[in-house]
Amino acid sequence: MIRKEMIAMLLAGGQGSRLGILTADMAKPAVSYGGKYRIIDFPLSNCINSGVDTVGVLTQYQPLRLNTHIGIGIPWDLDRNIGGVSILPPYEKSDNAEWYTGTANAIYQNLKFIEHYNPEYVLILGGDHIYKMDYEILLDFHKSNKADITLATYPVAWEDASRFGLVITDENKKVIDFEEKPAKPRSNLASMGIYIFTWKVLKDALIKLKDQPGCDFGMHVIPYCHNNGASVYAFEYNGYWKDVGTLSAYWESNMELIDLVPDFNLYEEFWKIYTKSDVSTAQYLGEHAVLSRSIVGEGTEIYGSVYNSVIGPEVVIEEGAVVSDSIVMQGTHIGKNSKINKAIIAERAVVGSNCELGVGEEVENKEHPNIYCNGLVTLGEKTVIPDGVHIGKNTVISGITTHEDYTNNWLAGGESLRKAGEDA
Amino acid sequence: MRAIGIVLAGGNASRMKELTNKRAVAAMPLAGSYRAVDFALSSLANSKVQKVAVLTQYNSRSLNEHMSSSKWWDFGRKQGGLYVFTPTITVDNSFWYRGTADSIYQNIDFLKNSHEPYVVITSGDIIYKLDFNKVLEKHIENKADITVVCKRLGKCADTSRYGIITTDPDGRITSFDEKPNGAEDEPLVSAGIYVVRRRQLIEMLERANEEERYDLVRDIIIRFKDVKKIYAFEHTEYWRNIASVMDYYDANMDFLKPDIRDYFFRQYPDVYSKVDDLPPAKYNAGADVRNSLIASGTIVNGRVENSIIFKQVYIGNNCTIRNSIVLNGVHIGDNSYIENCIIESRDTIMPNSNYSGEPGKPRIVLERSDRYSI
């Protein structure tokens, strides 16, 4: 008989549109992070480190990169005889065929998957945060309170509290009320989007709410349960927790890794973060290489200078090139004497020689001022930039660009340049 | 592929000095992220050999740990697998492996119970990439009994530790002198890789055992040279044997050359190794690294020049590491100076230390101390 105390359902279907060009061809959880990881590695590693060995990954938006990354779960030891990792895309049923319309709807559509494992508890996770968390402690908290639902919460600064969905509790951490982005916050405990449900309670609620359009945990399921007398508790998490939902937050969070002793330490033996990596060779630093305050992935070759940057695996930075305050992802090539300032360069891009990225004054991006901001230059996957081009701040470029795409080899700040890539 | 693989990884080498106190030569770390045996195992995997036995004897703890999963080389399939054979006491045998031939003979059931018609035998102490299908093709074309993979060495090579081979114009081996003294211009030496028909090998091993002969080269290849058809196959790409401290040092330093890095790191097929799930290497302010290989999990605060730094090494502030090899998990305290050294794995170098070897004669540094993983 199959029985699992707790299984995890990881919601990985969202686009993450505020990451702009980075999520053009992949879901947000598949975006690279910290020189060798992808965002989804954090919840997956947390699962296996917490002893949760059965994980359903719900995918919908651009799942291909996630599929190849996860495979059968070998890097996380999630290749199991019973359980392990399963990828759960939406599927056609005998009477209807629909997309996942909301977070809870996605779980509802996979009710049979959960039933198969006969769990007592179900852990609901998102795929857009960087953190290390022991879900077993969360489960112990849930059990000791005899709770029906436990929400993981994170204390935020009071002045920021009005930007979050907040949880108001009594002295026993029992939830009394919820507030969504209130003007005058009564609490500073923000919901992290991580929940433990006693399976019976969740199952009943999902079935009751099955016709609710866009059924969502935060908006429908938890209020429904709460209003119907379920006991809901809030667990306060005090470790490192970082939302990487916007390009600026994503850039900042990467940059925190290069601090002398970062808040989020990847160098501890305990609570390792696992990932699938295609390369494991050592990195080579050339005769004239300069590196300071940076982390560098495997198999990378550096002949130029790198300051305050996160460099992924298999990157080549040629002689005379200077990369500062930037994130350079796997397989990217930076040509000779090019200067890269405060840029996010996605995988397998090619920057020619004598280019300069991030020059001039900050000008607001014309198309998406809320996405491409803080002076960042963002290059999509497999972007090609020809030799000698200068690019202003708050810009975005994707596809194979040639000299014809630039006026006098110049792309002004705030501009967006999108061309078809080689796959188009 | 129609062959099974045997990796000879039992050896100690006195010329490796203290470096093999801790491990067999086949488990020696190489190029920042590999161990010597990875090259043989990857070549077998990439040649689609599915069933591989690794024969170990001398201090195999480190080697066994490295091969704790066969996943890394994609063995461990239902059809085939990775087997590690150490000497065991049986009804009719209670000896250690008395030689390379004996090590295979003691596991002759592995040969008898396989159905593949050929056997690839390779040393685990050599660095190379080779498609065994090409060797086998040639083996069949020559109607050979044994094919010996050979490598032509450069001038002035020290030939005293190799088997020197001469062939007739068709490639059939006419002489095989083991470890001769006289040097020769550009000698053709045995690369420690053989292809042989499985039944033929069983027959020869059984005969050798009856006669109490135990060495693969002396008692099988040299002995049967004139009665069996033994051919040479010349390997023209990179090949190096690790038998001495200097070999080991040079082999690592070879990876600082762009063409060799390109050959092993970038060109198809890849060399696989155990995955360690280490974070990216970190360079703090004060790091100054030139012409060096740095493996993942390493934190650099000081100067590194012309060196190979393995995994999870910590280099303190104001250190200078020059022309050296620093093995896995070493902690180097602040203000240390290290030149022409090989620092043994998991050493702790106290702050303000000074270790220097001679150019061409690297010093092996052993600083035992107990540190616990955090």
Nearest-angstrom CA–CA distance, A410 and A359: 10
Q: How far is CA A265 from CA A80, A154, B281, in A?
A: 29, 19, 13
Q: Is B238 on the interface with A (CB under 8 A)?
A: no
B292, B259: one domain? no
Position B159 pLDDT exceeds 80? no
Residue B95 included in any domain: yes
B89, B163: one domain? yes
B205, B301: one domain? no
> What order do you get walking across the sheet with A390-392 strand by strand?
A290-292, A305-307, A322-324, A339-341, A356-359, A390-392, A410-411
As a dihedral over the C-alpha atoms of residue A403, residue A405, residue A410, residue A413, rounded to 10 degrees, the angle is -150
CB-based contact B280 A36, cutoff 8 Å: yes
pLDDT category at B372 given cuts 50, 70, 90 is low
How many domains does the structure of chain B reveal? 2
* Residue B318 CA from chain centroid, whole number: 35
B298, B215: one domain? no
Residue B277 included in any domain: no
Q: Return the structure tokens found at B251.
A: 């082999």
- Residue B327: closest CA among B65, B29, B59: B29
* Residue span of the structural domain in which B239 resides: 3-266
- Contact (CB, 8 A) for B175 and B232: no
Nearest-angstrom CA–CA distance, B63 and A399: 47
- Residue A346: closest CA among A364, A360, A326, A363: A326
pLDDT value for A424? 41
- Minimal-distance CA residue of chain A relative to B270: A279
Nearest-angstrom CA–CA distance, B5 and B84: 12
Provide the residue ranges of all domains of chain A, joining segments of one domain with +. 6-256, 284-418
Q: Is B372 on the interface with A (CB under 8 A)?
A: no
- Minimal-distance CA residue of chain B relative to A269: B374
DSSP string, B25-47: GGG-EETTTEETHHHHHHHHHHT
Nearest-angstrom CA–CA distance, B368 and A377: 49
Query: B220: which DSSP letter?
Result: I
Residue B14 included in any domain: yes
Position B374 pLDDT exceeds 60? no
Terminal CA-to-CA distance of chain A, rounded, Å? 49
pLDDT, tens digit, for every residue of B129-157? 999 999 999 999 999 999 999 999 987 66
Q: Return the structure tokens found at B357.
A: 């070897």
B133, B238: one domain? yes
Q: Is A297 on the interface with B (CB under 8 A)?
A: yes
Instruction: Say which amino acid occupies B40.
Output: A
B57, B131: one domain? yes
CB-based contact A282 B31, cutoff 8 Å: yes
- Contact (CB, 8 A) for B47 and B131: yes
Nearest-neighbour CA in chain A from B234: distance (Å): 28
Nearest-angstrom CA–CA distance, A152 and A349: 38
Chain B residues whose beta carbon lies within 8 Å of the beta carbon of residue A32: none
- Residue B52: closest CA among B279, B312, B272: B272
Q: Which of B71, B293, B310 sits opposite A283 (nearest CB)?
A: B293
| Pairing verdict, β A175-180 and A165-169 | antiparallel
What SS3 state is found at B21? helix
pLDDT digit string (tens) for chain A, length 424 residues: 899 999 999 999 988 899 999 999 999 999 999 999 999 999 999 999 999 999 999 999 999 999 999 999 999 999 999 999 999 999 999 988 899 999 999 999 999 999 999 999 999 999 989 999 999 999 999 999 999 999 999 999 999 888 888 999 999 999 999 988 889 999 999 999 999 999 999 999 999 999 999 999 999 999 999 999 999 999 999 999 998 989 999 999 999 999 888 888 888 888 999 999 888 899 999 999 999 999 999 999 999 999 999 999 999 999 999 999 999 999 999 999 999 999 999 999 999 999 999 999 999 999 999 999 999 999 999 999 999 999 999 999 999 999 999 999 999 999 999 987 654 4
Q: Which of A258, A272, A279 sits opposite B277 (nearest CB)?
A: A272
Residue B371 included in any domain: no
Strand partners, A344: A327, A378
Mutate to test the interface with A, among B283, B303, B306, B315 (most CBs of A within 10 A): B283
Nearest-angstrom CA–CA distance, A51 and A90: 27
B28, B171: one domain? yes
pTM across the whole model: 0.92
CB-based contact A281 B31, cutoff 8 Å: yes
What SS3 state is found at B181? coil
Nearest-neighbour CA in chain B from A96: distance (Å): 40
Residue B47 included in any domain: yes
Q: Is A315 on the interface with B (CB under 8 A)?
A: no
Mutate to test the interface with A, among B266, B276, B289 (most CBs of A within 10 A): B289
Mutate to test the interface with B, among A285, A288, A293, A327 (most CBs of B within 10 A): A285
- Residue A327: closest CA among A305, A348, A349, A312: A312
Q: Is B164 on the interface with A (CB under 8 A)?
A: no
Nearest-angstrom CA–CA distance, B370 and B223: 50
Rounded to the nearest integer, the mean pLDDT of chain B is 92
Nearest-angstrom CA–CA distance, A282 and A112: 45
Q: Which of B291, B299, B309 sits opposite A286 (nearest CB)?
A: B291
Q: Return the structure tokens found at A44.
A: 């997956």
Q: Is B268 on the interface with A (CB under 8 A)?
A: no
**A-proximal residues of B, 11-70, CB under 8 Å:** 31-33
- Minimal-distance CA residue of chain A relative to B304: A285
pLDDT value for A268? 83
Q: What average pLDDT does range B350-373 have in this prediction?
A: 87
**B-proximal residues of A, 208-267, CB under 8 Å:** 258, 260, 266-267
B206, B286: one domain? no
Mutate to test the interface with B, among A37, A45, A280 (most CBs of B within 10 A): A280
CATH number of the domain bearing residue B343: 2.160.10.10
- Residue A283: closest CA among B267, B294, B321: B294
B357, B232: one domain? no
Which class for B107: exposed (0-12), middle (13-18), buried (19 or more C-beta within 10 A)?
Answer: buried
Q: Is A145 on the interface with B (CB under 8 A)?
A: no
- Contact (CB, 8 A) for A66 and A29: yes
Nearest-angstrom CA–CA distance, A63 and A61: 6
| Pairing verdict, β A305-307 and A290-292 | parallel
| Pairing verdict, β A283-285 and B292-294 | antiparallel
Q: Which residues contact A242 (CB under 8 A, 6 or more apart)?
A: A129, A130, A131, A249, A253, A256, A264
CB-based contact B289 A285, cutoff 8 Å: yes
Nearest-neighbour CA in chain A from B361: distance (Å): 23
Residue B370 included in any domain: no
Q: Which of B264, B294, B299 sits opposite A283 (nearest CB)?
A: B294
Q: Is A304 on the interface with B (CB under 8 A)?
A: no
Residue labelled with tokens 């920021």? A160
Element (H, E) at B303: strand B303-305
Nearest-angstrom CA–CA distance, A42 and A29: 10
CB-based contact B284 A297, cutoff 8 Å: no
- CATH entry, A284-418, from 3.30.1180.20, 2.130.10.10, 2.30.30.100, 2.160.10.10: 2.160.10.10
- CATH entry, A6-256, from 3.50.50.60, 3.40.50.11720, 3.90.550.10, 2.70.70.10: 3.90.550.10
Nearest-neighbour CA in chain B from A270: distance (Å): 7
B297, B149: one domain? no
Chain A residues whose beta carbon lies within 8 Å of the beta carbon of residue B282: 258, 267, 294-296
Residue B239 included in any domain: yes
Chain A residues whose beta carbon lies within 8 Å of the beta carbon of residue B374: 268-270
pLDDT category at B373 given cuts 50, 70, 90 is low
DSSP string, A303-367: -SEEES-EE-TT-EE-TT-EEES-EE-TT-EE-TT-EEESEEE-TT-EE-TT-EEEES-----SS
Neighbours of A174 (CB within 10 A): 13
B145, B55: one domain? yes
Chain A residues whose beta carbon lies within 8 Å of the beta carbon of residue B275: 75, 277, 280
The helix, strand and coil proportions of chain B, stated in percent and rounded to the nearest 5, come to 25, 30, 45
Q: What average pLDDT does range B50-59 have in this prediction?
A: 94
- Residue B294: closest CA among B278, B307, B275, B279: B307
CB-based contact A296 B280, cutoff 8 Å: yes
CATH number of the domain bearing residue B196: 3.90.550.10
B32, B153: one domain? yes
Q: How far is CA B102 from CA A399, B210, B230, B270, in A?
A: 61, 11, 20, 32
Nearest-angstrom CA–CA distance, B115 and B140: 17
CB-based contact B281 A295, cutoff 8 Å: yes
As a dihedral over the C-alpha atoms of residue A271, residue A275, residue A279, residue A280, rounded to 10 degrees, the angle is 10
What SS3 state is found at A232? strand
